Chain A
Amino acid sequence: MKFSRHKKLAGAIVGTAAIALLAAGCSSGSGAGGSTKGATLTYWASNQGTSLANDKAVLTPELNKFTKQTGIKVKLEVIGWNNLQTRINTAVSSGVGPDVVNIGNTWAPYLGATGAFLPYDSANMKAIGGQDKFVATALATGGQQGKTVTSVPLYGLAYGLYYNKKMFSDAGLTPPTTWEDMVTDAKKLTTGSVHGMGLEAGSYTENVHFAFITAEQNGGQLFDSAGKPTFTSDAVVSGVQRYIDLMQTDKVVDTSNAQYTNGTEASADFAKGKVAMIVNQDNAGPNLTADGMDPSAYGVVAIPAPAGGQQVSSGIQGINLSVFKNTKNQAAALKFVKFMTSAATQGVLGKPYASIPVLKGVTPTFTSDPVIAKTFSDIYNNRSKPYPLVPLEGAFETNVGNALNNLFATVATKGSVSTAQIKAALQAAQDKTNAAG
């Protein structure tokens, strides 16, 4: 009697994982909105502003404009990045979700592969204003390689190297143009409690971007033409090594950065003058201002490649917009996508969200500094490459990003990692990625 009860208890506790799996099938989510034509759209927005409430405040006036123009109401929900992917996956697996959703553009290939999103075929593309309005490289992130895109670019972002102007001029330095220069400068600027560079070394989403950028600079590829991961190729391993070495051998990054996980600690250090350089996407501005740094105190250049390397400084970062295939308001949803990707709306949202225009011929509004605007536009349009457009991209981000987190943690706590350890970590990440396909 007692025995079977405890067995049940054990089963119940272990079954939690199973319950969680089932919960994916019945968890709540906003319903698919009103079913009558032109009624109400449900829209899940990602967190682009300084808080979820800020996003709501920024988006609501625009949504009201849309309602005024079309008579279609929009029910807005802003979802934090820590929840968004799970919420989308839940919606995909249960078939109960919003009509329109923001996605991280690197999720586009795998979400496209699930078949849950409406493909922007020629008719749908025409309904949102035609593909020619988009910057071609931005639109290329919309889905799997060689397939009809299932998302269109909404906000463009790019990485840049932010440097403290005063620290550079005091040390008689000019912004670096090669990786080697950057390291030399950073070493010169590392004195006492000040470090040459700051990194979000505990954030897997940040780290994985640099695994990509350094591999691209080395002329390497993360996936072969068959879509299989090639994380242990020399170009990838030596790229990761170069990145880790900023903390390990160059010692221009403080070991405490191995615990920087939420994407804002390094920029806070930069604003306080504790580090001379950070690598950040172009939306650092609002955070730096909030931390007390005047925009005139910093400059931005492209993250330099090693001498002789490929001039790649960023992935094509950004947010894309997708429509769920099972929406009952397809025409209304496409109108909404057209509205959000119109020059007028982009102009308004570009400033608070510090986003680079994804439309051709639109003036950037994300910064008042024309030099910085030009720098980022140049990086985005000329020095960026799309992340691998394969369904395993998501698994690549998780596994390689976490492998880099752990390598930094090892450097911070034990002092060093060998090239062999880096290769082994990338091999393990590759095996796990393969298992996800």
Chain B
Amino acid sequence: MAVTTERPTVASRTPGAAAPKNRKRHLPGGWLPFALIAPAVILEILIHIAPMLVGIWISFIKLTQLYIANWGAAPFLGFGNYQVSLDFNSALGASLLQSFAITCAYTVVVVAISWIIGMAAAVALQRAFRGRAIFRTLFLVPYAIPMYAGIIAWKFMFQQTGAVNHFLTQIGLASANHEPFWLIGGNALPALMTVAIWKTWPFAFLMLMAGLQSVNEDLYEAAALDGARPFRQWRSITLPGLGPVNRVLVLVLFLWTFNDFNTPYILFGVGNAPPQADLISIHIYNTSFQNQSFGLGSSMSVLLLLFLLVVTGIYLLVSNRRAKDNA
């Protein structure tokens, strides 16, 4: 984090002692750092902070289709939108709760399986062997394909007469003329999870593969000499060695997956997500843009934001404490 201002040519100087002196000399007037950081701060405010504040404001007003031409005329509701969203006895609250539960299940399954596959692939490719580069490239393909193209391909495969059912019929798991549906009804969630895992695991693989580069090879040799089997080696050397990577990776995967919008939006089509796979991002989108209850949609967004802040906060507190304890 410390700013090193010394020139690399001055090799003999001790960095710690020289740095503060140099910094003063190089920044006359003190305005330069502010000028340099100003564009970032202004953009941050414009792109992140201002829309969030507008969103929070909208959550307190009755911004429906009747007021979109004149936001100022929308009646102020206080916490009215929140009351509707959180009234789990009403149709709206109940469907939000259901959507939340589905999203939680979706997130747990997708993150867990993506992580497991990513880890397995990273470990498998840890040691150098002939053709390793080919596998590395191959594994990253789902991540490299444009997301829309990939998901649309899945959409075709999941049609009733698509490749998935054809395959299942061939191996005897489905009968011809009674092929299961994958994009409507109860199978929609597993189908959605499959696509999400397909597009998520290469990222886990990439991160873990990079993390593995920093694990000392000698430790494996020493462990092998001590008679540790591969699983024990993985548990006692690989996993602790990947601790910092995992902490960030799991958090990022959790946030991305919980907020996943593209996968269901493309897989099911606009407004066509079945209730069994009604992820919260789609639920909020439909409330806002299909039903044009922007106030209600915003209140749901704010609730989601609060939930994710709490989860993220707890996660980081716990994982940081554990990291310190282990240190």
Contact = CB atoms under 8 A, between A and B. Distances in A.
Contacts of B316: 2-3, 6
Given A3-B313, A89-B292, A110-B66, A15 B52 contact: yes
A383 to B, nearest CB: 30
A137 B294 CA distance: 33
B291 A399 contact: yes
Interface stretch (B114-122, B130-138, B253-261): B253-261
Interface in A399-425: 399, 402, 405-406, 409-410, 412-414
A7 B313 contact: yes
Interface stretch (A16-24, A282-290, A299-307, A330-338): A16-24
Contact of B68 (A13, A15, A114): A114
B216 interface: no
Interface string B33-67: 00000000000000110111011101000001111
Contacts of B215: none
A256 B292 contact: no
Contact of B50 (A22, A115, A399): A22
A93 B71 contact: yes
Contacts of B91: 427-428, 430-432
Nearest to A430: B91
Interface in B300-318: 300-301, 304-305, 308-309, 312-313, 316-317
B95 interface: yes
Interface in A156-204: 202, 204
B266 interface: no
Interface string B7-30: 000000000000000000000000
Given A11-B305, A436-B65, A259 B183 contact: yes
Contacts, number: 177
Nearest to B46: A22
A258 B251 CA distance: 38
Nearest to A12: B48
Contact of A21 (B54, B67, B95, B313): B54
B230 interface: no
B184 A413 contact: yes
Contact of B69 (A93, A255, A399, A409): A93
Given A14-B301, A413-B181, A431-B92, A22 B54 contact: yes
B58 A394 contact: no
Interface in B266-320: 269-272, 274-275, 281, 284-286, 288-294, 296-298, 300-301, 304-305, 308-309, 312-313, 316-317, 320
Interface in B103-120: none
Nearest to B185: A413
Contacts of A1: 1
A398 interface: yes
A199 to B, nearest CB: 14
B84 interface: yes
A256 B187 contact: no
A264 to B, nearest CB: 14
Interface in A244-277: 255-256, 258-259, 261
A228 B48 CA distance: 39
Nearest to A424: B91
Interface in A1-59: 1-3, 6-24
Given A259-B183, A436-B65, A9 B291 contact: no
A8 B52 CA distance: 11
Interface in B147-187: 159-160, 180-181, 183-187
A116 B259 contact: no
A204 B181 contact: no
A431 B255 contact: no
Contacts of A431: 90-92
B70 interface: yes
B213 to A, nearest CB: 22
A412 B292 contact: no
Contacts of A9: 252, 255
A67 interface: no
Chief secondary structure at chain A's binding surface: helix
A17 B70 contact: no
Nearest to B68: A93
B185 A14 contact: no
Contacts of B185: 409-410, 412-414
A286 to B, nearest CB: 23
A21 B288 contact: yes
B292 A436 contact: yes
A345 B159 CA distance: 42
B64 A437 contact: yes
A225 interface: no
B293 to A, nearest CB: 5
A405 B272 contact: yes
Given A6-B251, A10-B312, A398-B271, A16 B291 contact: no
A12 B259 CA distance: 11
Interface in B65-112: 65-71, 84, 90-92, 95
Nearest to B306: A14
B87 to A, nearest CB: 10
A5 to B, nearest CB: 10
B66 A18 contact: no
Contact of B261 (A16, A89, A204): A16
Choose among B51, B58, B90 the residue with the greatest number of A CB atoms under 10 Å from its CB.
B51
Nearest to B93: A431
A118 interface: no
A435 interface: yes
A115 B252 CA distance: 44
Contacts of A14: 259, 301, 304-305, 308
A17 B298 contact: yes
Contact of A402 (B58, B92, B271, B309): B271
A142 interface: no
A113 interface: yes
A113 B51 contact: no
B292 A394 contact: yes
B69 A18 contact: no
17 contacts: A6-B312, A13-B255, A14-B301, A17-B288, A19-B55, A20-B288, A21-B298, A23-B51, A89-B68, A114-B65, A202-B272, A261-B269, A398-B291, A409-B181, A409-B185, A412-B181, A435-B293
Nearest 3 pairs of A and B residues by beta carbon = A18-B55, A413-B185, A431-B91
Given A3-B313, A9-B255, A391-B66, 8 more contacts: A6-B316, A10-B255, A17-B288, A398-B271, A398-B286, A414-B185, A436-B291, A436-B292
